[in-house]
Structure 1
Amino acid sequence: MTTTLVVALAGVPTLVAPPQDSPGVADAVVVLGPPQPWRVAWARELVEQGRAGAVLVSVDDDDRVPLCEDPGSLDVTCARPDPFTTRGEARWVRDEMAAHGWDTVTVVTATPNLLRARLLIGRCVPEGVQVVARRERLGLDRWAARYAWQLGGWAKALWSQGC
């Protein structure tokens, strides 16, 4: 009981309320997977506000993202990083930045993933990356599942080194 409570409380500043800034101006906005509609909509909103010139969307093989299928006048690239993990996405961001000559990107993810994404992407791209998130409305059961998933992700991230 006590261990569970300590783990749960320790996750609050990391998974529930991590420190973050408001999105700035960047060359592109990157949507980490899964490409939930709110993440894609936020990326589109940032481009339409003039805060970025392009959108990158990390998609898995079975993801159907309307913005990928009909980008309209937006510069949109949708691809599946290999592997389809946050670490794979970090390498993909690095490669896309180099390919396009971008100096800055804003990465959009969910709040529980913010600090881990910042760590992993920072290993591949030490400068020019801002990671931002929004809180999702989740029930207690989904928060418990997120905690478990993120704890496993943190263990893997801390065990692995380099990009």
Structure 2
Amino acid sequence: MLTFEQKLSIIESFPELERKSVSLGRVNFHYADSIYDKKNVVYHLHPNGNGFVYGEFLEGYDFDAKGMVNIRDFTAKELKSIIELSIKSLSPDSTIESAIIEDNEEERWINAENHTLILVHEDDMWNVYAGLNLDGTFLSYNEAKQYLEEEGFRKR
């Protein structure tokens, strides 16, 4: 098993992750560019070496109800791999997002808390997505735009 310091060294090698100290000496690492409300990539890394990586969208990993994979017994290679995959699954260019957008016209809208919604023109309708979740469907672009602006979003 890797030590806390070894795991920290691997995790801190990802410049896109931001360290956040939490209680009991534990640390979280956030991915600010996540297209989802979920920002934690590494959750509650503890000085005893236990911790979690977000893996809800990843294949081949057992995750809990929150989508977290326990990394206690991961090797350095396994830890680096799951972090890379987790970041990729939360990034704007993820294949999950690509499945929603396909070849349709799309725009990204962001609010003051850096939450991102995607406006997609599909089958003569304008759909607003929050991650994989459909947030609203509108008959025209102007209706969708008005809704997004009323909710505090601006075009990115």
Provide the TM-score with structure 2 as the length reference.
Answer: 0.26
Which has the higher relative contact order, 1 or 2, with Cα contacts under 8 A spaced 6 or more apart? 1
Compare the two structures and name the one with the higher helix fraction. Answer: 1
More strand by share: 2
Give the TM-score normalised by structure 1.
Answer: 0.25
Question: Highest CA radius of gyration, 1 or 2?
Answer: 2
